[in-house]
Amino acid sequence: MCKSVIASPPLPPSAEHGASFHVARMPERVSITSAEVPDTIAKILDPEDPVSRFIIDHFGESDERRWVVLVNSFATVDEDYVAALMSFYQPDARAWLVGPMFLAAGDMPEREEEHDPEGCLPWLDERAVRSETAIYVSFGTQAYVSDEQLDELACGLVRSGHPFLWAVRSAAWSPPVEVGPRGRIVHGWMPQRSVLAHRAVGGFVSHCGWNSVMECLAAGKPVLAWTIMAEQHLNAYHVADIIGAGVRMMVVKVAGGTVVETAAVERKVRRLMDAGEEGRKMREKASWAQQAANAAVSDGGTSRVALMKLVEELQRCFSLIVHS
């Protein structure tokens, strides 16, 4: 979608005040607000911005001359997006939806202890024995989250009343409240795919990096999309508003940074996890996406067939080069 945002005409005046606008060359249902446009894309026409210069120099005309575009997604959720994307490329270019890549590779993580040094999976097993549904929290390895925001998040999670398993990047931070036995905070690596696939996990608080989105959908778990940077806002829009498998934490940018307060965290976690019509619909959509993802990489599935055809096409091209 980023290429389409770049190609969009200047934002209408209403968009600057929070109104949504349609993104050029995208399906008609796709409309976003100016706040959801990644900062790097919003600055794309700024000749003084070094990131913008890098994008234009390295991903401009050379990108549009590409013959093959590989997409780590699957046709059921992204086919119309990719069809729109291909309007940017040369007429004979092809897009291949071959994901989710980790499912296509059969790379499902194991449960041996050496793959779970912090004992996260046994902790989840205990929740399952108690018939408790936990929420998993992770913002990935690159996004920075301030200690102040971590404090508010910890308080909100505790006040929500739901068990939670939380991977925290900062080694120095500690929670300002007692999390109790129903909360688990891990400062280190966590087997995310195994955690998401666990029967005791009922939702995912995520920054919505694309790998996390694919892992979440493949596990059939709804997401509380708490975006921080880059294209994560657009990913969150796709999974929550288009697919319907989650709810977004609307973070408003203000001078001096942004902090989502405890009450907002508690409220959104409850929306995601508590029983009710909204939660039921999100879980149904997440389950639908899981079935579609598994079908795509199975024998005869769209991603499996696309990957096989791509390999055949590459072999044919290689043969032509060798014999020319």
Q: Which residues pair with 135 in a beta bridge?
A: 164, 203
What is the Cα–Cα distance from 160 to 229, expressed in whole angstroms?
A: 26
Question: Is the confidence at residue 16, as pLDDT, over 80?
Answer: no
Question: Is the confidence at residue 283, as pLDDT, over 60?
Answer: yes
Distances (CA, A) of 85 to 4, 51, 79, 192: 7, 22, 10, 30
Instruction: Tell me the mean pLDDT in the region 18-30.
Output: 74
Residue identified by tokens 């020319």 is 324
**What pLDDT digit, counting tens, does each position of 43-82 carry?**
765 767 777 777 666 656 666 666 778 889 999 998 887 8
Instruction: Quote the pLDDT of residue 176.
Output: 95
Q: Indicate the pTM of the whole model.
A: 0.86
Could you tell me the residue ranges of all domains in the chain? 2-104, 113-284
Instruction: Quote the pLDDT of residue 21.
Output: 75
Instruction: Tell me the mean pLDDT in the region 139-155.
Output: 92
**What pLDDT digit, counting tens, does each position of 152-180 carry?**
999 999 999 999 999 998 889 999 999 99
Instruction: Quote the pLDDT of residue 321.
Output: 83
Instruction: Quote the pLDDT of residue 252.
Output: 61
Q: Which two tokens stand for residue 103?
A: 């499912």
Number of H helices, E strands in the chain: 14, 10
Count of Cβ atoms closer than 10 Å to residue 116 Cβ: 20
Question: Is the confidence at residue 253, as pLDDT, over 60?
Answer: no
**Among the ranges given (16-20, 82-86, 100-104, 263-267), the one the predictor scored with the smallest mean pLDDT:** 16-20
What is the Cα–Cα distance from 213 to 223, expressed in whole angstroms?
A: 8
Kindly state the greatest CA–CA separation across the chain.
Answer: 71
- CATH 3.40.50.2000 describes domain 113-284: yes
In terms of pLDDT, which residue wins out, 293 or 12? 293
Encode 225-243 in three state secondary structure.
ECCCCCCHHHHHHHHHHHC
Average pLDDT, the chain: 85
**What pLDDT digit, counting tens, does each position of 83-131 carry?**
777 777 777 778 889 989 998 777 555 444 447 878 899 999 999 999 9
Question: Is the confidence at residue 188, as pLDDT, over 90?
Answer: no
What is the Cα–Cα distance from 149 to 289, expressed in whole angstroms?
A: 31
Instruction: Quote the pLDDT of residue 1.
Output: 64
| DSSP label of 60 | S
On the 0-12 / 13-18 / 19+ scale of CB atoms within 10 A, 17 is exposed
Instruction: Tell me the mean pLDDT in the region 318-323.
Output: 80
Which letter, b or e, does each residue of 251-268 get, where b requires 16 or more Cβ atoms within 10 Å of its Cβ?
beeeeeeeebebeebbeb
**What pLDDT digit, counting tens, does each position of 195-231 carry?**
999 999 999 999 999 999 999 999 999 999 999 888 8
